[in-house]
Structure formats: C-alpha cells, structure tokens
Chains A and B, each alone.
Chain A
Amino acid sequence: MTSAQIEIQLIACIVAIACAIPGVFLVLRKMALISDAISHAILPGIVVGFFVTHDLSSPLLIIFAAFTGILTVFLVEFIQKTGLVKEDTAIGLIFPALFSIGVILIAQNANDVHLDIDAVLLGELAFAPFDRLELFGTDVGPKSLWVIGTILIITLSLLITFFKELKVSTFDAGLASALGFSPVVLHYGLMTVASVTTVGAFDAVGAILVVALTIAPAATAYLLTKDLKKMLFLSVGLGVFSAISGYWLAHGLDASIAGSIASMLGVVFLSVFLFAPSTGMISVMYKQQRQKIEVLLLTFLLHLKNHKEKKERHVNHLGEHINWQKSQAKSVLELALKNNMIVINDDIASLTEKGNVFTENAINYITDHSEEAIEEMKKDFFLFRG
C-alpha cells in the first residue's frame, strides 16, 4: 500500500464513523430522510460560501453549509406546522427547491467558479490526498482528513457528554422534557451535527453517498440489536468495514470509491436483511410458515376431538371438510404423527393420550390464557412462545 492509499482508507473510515453516529439517532427518531434533505439542500450554502471563500475545504464554507442545513430543517418544520401538507411532503418540497437554486447559481457563474455539481453530488475520494494542509511550512496530511477528523472529535465528545440526554429524548421525548432537557435544543443540536457532518463528508464522498453512510450502517445495526450502545458500536463497525472493503472493490474495478463503499453497505444490509437470526426475511418467513402449520395442526386436533364418528376422522375427509389442499393436509398429518399426537389405523386418525392432553391444554390456553398449563408444550411449538 502506498501512503496515498492508506490516507484514502483512513479518510473513508473516519467519514464512515462520523456519519454513523448521528445516523443511529436519525434512524431511531424516524428522521432518516432529513439527512437526504440536508445533503441536497446544502448546495446553495456551499455555492454562496464558495463565492466568499474560493476554497472548497475552508472552515467558513462548512459554517455556511451547516447554516443552510439547519435552515432546511427549520423550513421543513415550519411547513409541517402549518398543517397544509404532511411531513414527508414538506421534506420533498423543500430540498429540490433549494437544490435547484444551487444548480442555477452554479450554472450562472460557471465561468468564474471551479465548482462542479458532479463533484458536489458524487465527490471523489481518490483526489483527497492531493489537497494537502500545510502548517508552518510542513506538510501535515490531507486537508479533508483534518476537516473530517475535527468533526469526528467534536461529534464524539458531544455524544459522550450528552449520551444520557440523547438516549432519553430519543426514546421518550415527554420524559426528557419532564426531566428538564429541552427537546428543541437536543433536536437542533443533533441536526447541527448532522449538517456539519454532511458538509464535512460531501467533499470526500459526495452528497448522496453521505446519506448511504448515515442511514445504512444504522439501519443494519438496528436489525441486529435493540441495545443503543451495541447499535452505535455495530454501526460504526459496519461503516468502517464497508469503507475499507469498498475501497478495495473500487481498486479492483477501477471505479468510483464512494460508489463502491455504498455498494458494500448495500451488500451488508442485504445479507443482514435476509439472514439476520431473528429479524431477517428468511427467519421471519420460516417462523410465519411454522406458525401457520401449527395453527392448522391445532385446528385438526380440535376437529378430531370433536368428532367420534369414523367418517369425520378419515384421512381423505380432511380435504372435504376443512378445505385443505393435499400437500397442506399431508404436512399437518406428518407433524401430528411426528409428535405422537395421533395414530392412524386404516386411514382413520384418532388422538393419542398425549394428543388429547395437548388439545385440552391448548383449548384452556386459548380460552383463559393460563400460561402455566402449557410450559411443557412451549418446547415443541413456536405458537405459544409469543
């Protein structure tokens, strides 16, 4: 690895961490899309700031853009408060308008501005190491590393200082204000951090991929845990993992680094979405399938219990009477046999002793929810666990 490669990966990791932390709170507060809105809406702020400073990584530019970000949040909330449209519509109205103003400003001054919308929206991490920061005549590293590093340190110290307050206000805004933390201050504080992070990161990864780095690690972590601290650590870890693996993917394909990082985040999210132990698609579908069969089994056992006549208990009768399809009836019968609930003689099903007790307990459970009666059955069945 050359030093430029190490620097790029370092910047990518720090951007990922700096984005993931506010991202967790945005996802938990159901405000994930505000990061999308901010990342687009800061464009006019960046353009105006650029007119003033003529330097894309000047701290003043960050202040301008962060101000625009907060203005966006304020405008969205203002429109929302009028009650004329819903919150999501308010977001969708504000940011394209601000973004359009930014695009027009750039186009109008195209001759004297070396600012490209592509650069703002998409970013280019590969060039980050070439923009060096010099202090007292010595080279101390890439400028964007310093910018995003400073932002990360501020974010981290704010997080540690106000962790308790953030936690309470995120999960119970009413309690937070009753305890005397101002939800408004915390809200705008979080928004400020989100805006500043977005601005600091857009230079490296572009406005849209900031959204990916903010939302995706937090959403993935949220599928895996429901503990706030674990979620924070997990999302930071996932962000760093995607940043580094994304860099090498881009290296291999000779493609955009930011794009590959987002793609890696996508791969990570997709695999968690499909395979997560309790919340993943596959386990959810498996559970739903199991529950369906168990309900059918219970129906079948109740049917057997209610009918003494042989005709009603004939195996083929299931299809006619309870309207089951062949494969469904077969899987229910097999499950019942496997659990020694029934015996089948000459295609006539009858309850065993165990099946009888089980059915009675189940009826008791359904009618008066007496948990104790089914402690034993819980081992065999999903149905009674939740």
Chain B
Amino acid sequence: MTISEYIELLFNDYTLRTITLGTAILGAVCGMLGSFAVLRKQSLLGDAISHAALPGIAVAFLITGAKDSNTLLLGALISGLLGAFWIKSIITKTHLKSDTALGLILSLFFGVGMLLLTFIQKQPNANQAGLDKYLFGQAATLLEKDVWFMAIVTSVCLGVLLLFWKEFKLLLFDPDYTKTLGFNIKFLDTLITSFIVAAIILGLQTVGVVLMSAMLLAPAAAARQWTNSLAIMVALAATFGAFSGVIGTGISASYPNLSTGPVIVLVASVFVIVSFIFSPGRGLLFKEIRFRKNRNDLKLHKTLSFMYDIAKNHDDISHPHTVKILNNFQGYTKKSLHKLEKENLIVLIGSNWSLTEEGFFKAKNLYNQHIETND
C-alpha cells in the first residue's frame, strides 16, 4: 500500500478515520499535559495512575452492571484521583519517598483491580466480557462518539490551560514564590493533577493501562530537548504526540497482527531517540561535536603556546624554527599546523615554521583574561 492509497483510505474508511483521529487527539492532549508532568518531576505519576484506575472500572461495572464506557471512565477517573491524592499524602505525611509511594499505589490498586475483575468474570452476567480491553487497550473499539468526547475534554483542558497559563508556569518553576504572591497553590496543584489524571483515563481505552505512561512521557521528553520555552515545549509535545498517534495507527493498520498501542509507543520512542541525538542545543550528537571541537581548539592553543615559549627567546619573533623541535611535544599534528597557518597565526616554509605578528600576540595573551589591544 502506498502513502497516497493510505491517505485515500483514511478519508473513506470510517474505522480507520475514527481511530486515526482518536489517537491523534489523544497524543496531542497527552503531550500537552505530559509536559507539565515531566517538568514537575512527576513522570511516573502517569504509570501509577493508569494502574490505579483499574479498580474504578471494575467497581463502576459492579455498581451499574452495564458496560457503558462513560460510566466506566468515570469510575476510573475517581479511583485514579484517589490514587493520586493518596500518593501525595504518603509523600507528605510519612518518610516514604515518592518512588516507593508510586510503586505502592500502582501495584496495590492494580492488585485490587485484578481481584475485582476476576471476581466479576465469575459472575453469572454475560455482559462482563471485554472489560480487560482496558488492560492493554484496543484502539479498534473507538467509536465516533468516543472521539467527540476526547475532543471535548481536550478543548476543556486547553481552555483551562490558556486561562491559567501564567499561574501554571509560575507554579511549575517556583512554587514558593507562587505562594508568596498569594495564589492558591493547592487549588492549582489539584487542577493540574486532575487534568493529568483525566488525560490518562482518556487513553486507557486506546493504549491501555501499561503503556499509558509512555504516551504521557515520551512526547514531552522529546519536546524538552528542542527548546527551553514552556509554550514551545507544550506545542511541540502536542505535535509529537499527535504524529505518534497518526503514524502509529498507520503502521499498525498496514500490517497484520500489530496492535495499535505498542506501535504508537514505539513511534513515540523513535521521536525521543531522534530528539536525544539530533537536537541542536542538548542533543548527544552536537554535544559530541562541540566536545571534539573544544578539544581540538585546546590542542591548537597548546601548540601555539609551546611555539610562543620558543619564539619569545629570540629577538626576531618570526625567526623560523624546524618542525622537529615540536617533536618532544605531543600536541601537534600536520593538520593542526596547517590549521594554524590558515588562521594566519604561523607561516610554514618547507619544514620550518615561524610565528606571525598576530600569532605571537595571540599566544602571548592566550591565558590572559584581560587582553591588551594591539593598537
């Protein structure tokens, strides 16, 4: 299937269109809110909450006895929030650290959820089949109304985010200052945590409990590498998330036996790897290049200063010396000599070198913080 065929299919096929739209919206909202989670050092909150949502789904089913996805998601939301606030109270009220609190809530809630799910499965009610799709997610079950629901939640999130942008930004980088300015940081904190929980719950149906945390984290971690501005980071993360959704859905639709959730996560991971390596400011590749360049510069400087030490003992600084003198000094290569010549710092004649005026001046002031001007 070529790309153009795929795009044509995208417009004609109801299921594919719905799923693509759904995963794109999900990726965008997760990227947007994930940026806050990553910057607040709550990266793994997503993992904990997505697991903590499971008992809520089971309890909602037990109470209503129906498989209406909205009530189930409401149950998930409540138990997710319960988990989030319990984590918070463990961290603030006891000496247990955040990693322990997250791991505890994650595994304990999930265990209760498993208990309830297996209990439900034994009930004489034919309706219960398919509850476990929330474990691993099934993008294929997305309906148009689900996508509408996602779109509405996303726009509410976006609206509130824009409304409280200044406050959230302040809270993110300096909570104490925010408090002294008189903002209600408890309210803001609860608001942003609730939105993160809501985004996670939205994704459960599509990518499932286990992989939800990556949806939240990966686009944000990738976006972080390209910018130091919060607004750009949020926008970039939303874009990365949306593209992961669209590309992941495309790949999984084009091959048999590929579930959508894991493919989306892998696509998002590719975004992360590419960002880690190729981002201009922080990326590993450019860091390495800069590192090498600095090392070469340092070597050139060393060579130059060695030459200066020799030349300063002569009345004529441009007196030629043989290259052989440099032999007991390890810092030079043919290449570095040519480079020095190219920068007009030395002159090479045959196997002799001599410092230029400019080279002598530069070498003299190499380690001098206050460079004297020559004129």
A residues apposed to B, CB below 8 Å: 27, 30-33, 35-36, 40, 79, 82, 84-86, 88-89, 91-93, 96-97, 99-101, 103-104, 107-108, 110, 117-118, 121-122, 208-209, 211-212, 214-216, 218-219, 222-223, 249-250, 253-256, 258-263, 265-266, 269, 273, 279, 281, 284
In-complex Cβ contact of B263 among A100, A212, A249 (8 A): A100
Q: Are B259 and A107 in contact (CB under 8 A)?
A: yes
Q: Are A88 and B41 in contact (CB under 8 A)?
A: yes
Assembly CA distance A35 to B225 (angstroms): 27
Q: Are B112 and A259 in contact (CB under 8 A)?
A: yes
Q: Are A211 and B103 in contact (CB under 8 A)?
A: yes
Known interface pairs A92-B43, A93-B218; A258-B135 also in contact (CB < 8 Å): no
Q: Are A85 and B111 in contact (CB under 8 A)?
A: no
**Nearest 8 interchain pairs by C-beta:** A262-B111, A259-B114, A96-B214, A259-B115, A212-B107, A100-B262, A266-B108, A256-B118
Q: Are B119 and A92 in contact (CB under 8 A)?
A: no
Most buried by A among B221, B262, B266: B262
B93 within 8 A of A: yes
Assembly CA distance A258 to B214 (angstroms): 26
Assembly CA distance A215 to B106 (angstroms): 10
In-complex Cβ contact of A256 among B114, B211, B276 (8 A): B114
B199 within 8 A of A: no
Q: Are A35 and B259 in contact (CB under 8 A)?
A: no
Interface SS of chain B: helix, strand, loop or mixed?
helix
In-complex Cβ contact of B132 among A88, A118, A260 (8 A): A118
Interface SS of chain A: helix, strand, loop or mixed?
helix
Q: Are A108 and B257 in contact (CB under 8 A)?
A: yes
B269 within 8 A of A: yes
| Residues of chain A with a CB closer than 8 A to B41's CB | 86, 88
| Residues of chain B with a CB closer than 8 A to A281's CB | 89, 93-94
Could you give, for residues 26-55 of chain B, a 1 whenever the CB lies within 8 Å of some chain A CB and a 0 otherwise? 000000000000100111101100010000
B301 within 8 A of A: no
| Residues of chain B with a CB closer than 8 A to A122's CB | 114
Q: Are B214 and A85 in contact (CB under 8 A)?
A: no
B325 within 8 A of A: no
Known interface pairs A89-B43, A103-B136; A209-B102 also in contact (CB < 8 Å): no
Known interface pairs A253-B119, A254-B119; A104-B262 also in contact (CB < 8 Å): yes
Can you list 9 A-B pairs with a CB-CB distance of less than 8 A? A84-B282, A103-B136, A107-B257, A208-B106, A209-B114, A212-B104, A263-B108, A279-B94, A281-B93
B213 within 8 A of A: yes
Q: Are A269 and B108 in contact (CB under 8 A)?
A: yes
| Residues of chain A with a CB closer than 8 A to B104's CB | 32, 212, 215-216, 219, 269
Q: Are A262 and B214 in contact (CB under 8 A)?
A: no
| Residues of chain B with a CB closer than 8 A to A209's CB | 107, 110-111, 114
In-complex Cβ contact of A91 among B38, B44, B284 (8 A): B44
Given A27-B96, A32-B104, A88-B41, 5 extra CB contacts under 8 A: A85-B38, A215-B103, A222-B96, A253-B119, A284-B94
B312 within 8 A of A: no
Assembly CA distance A284 to B132 (angstroms): 39
| Residues of chain A with a CB closer than 8 A to B162's CB | none
Q: Are A31 and B99 in contact (CB under 8 A)?
A: yes
| Residues of chain B with a CB closer than 8 A to A108's CB | 257-258
CB distance from A326 to the nearest CB of B (A): 26
CB distance from A194 to the nearest CB of B (A): 12
Chain B residue nearest to A249 in the complex (CB): B115
| Residues of chain B with a CB closer than 8 A to A256's CB | 114-115, 117-118
In-complex Cβ contact of A263 among B115, B224, B272 (8 A): B115
B90 within 8 A of A: yes
